[in-house]
Amino acid sequence: MLIAIGIAATMLRTLPVKASGLVGDIDEDGDVDGRDVVLLALHWNSEEGNPRYDPNCDLNGDGKIDGKDLAMLAANFGKTE
Ligand SMILES: [Ca+2]
Ligand SMILES: [Ca+2]
């Protein structure tokens, strides 16, 4: 329950800065599909300051690209704008 509230709060904080408005649409082509999963995988397990870190893949904006970001992408997988 606390985790769900935390994720919801993070999403509310993150949503306005995303250009596409669709959380998980990393390449901003209007849908959340395998290409976005691949992009997230390429930057997987990196942190802010690491050369592999890409803020577009850090969906919850916590400075790390990890399972929390994958969970947010998975929640929107298959969705389009
Ligand atoms: Ca996409
Ligand atoms: Ca993150």
- The domain segmentation of the chain, as residue ranges, is 2-76
Burial class (CB in 10 A: 0-12, 13-18, 19+), 26: buried
Ligand nearest to the CA of 30: 1
Ligand nearest to the CA of 53: 2
What pLDDT was estimated at residue 47? 98
Ion ligand 1, residues whose Cβ is below 5 A away = 25, 27, 29, 36
CB 28 within 8 A of CB 74: no
For domain 2-76, the CATH class is mainly alpha
Query: Is the pLDDT reported for residue 2 higher than 70?
Result: no
Cα(20) to centroid(ligand 2), Å: 18
What pLDDT was estimated at residue 23? 97
Cα(46) to centroid(ligand 2), Å: 9
Tell me how many degrees the CA angle 14-15-19 measures, rounded to the nearest 5: 110
Q: What is the pLDDT of residues 8-51, one digit of tens each?
A: 666 655 554 556 689 999 999 999 999 999 999 999 999 999 99
Query: Is the pLDDT reported for residue 57 higher than 90?
Result: yes
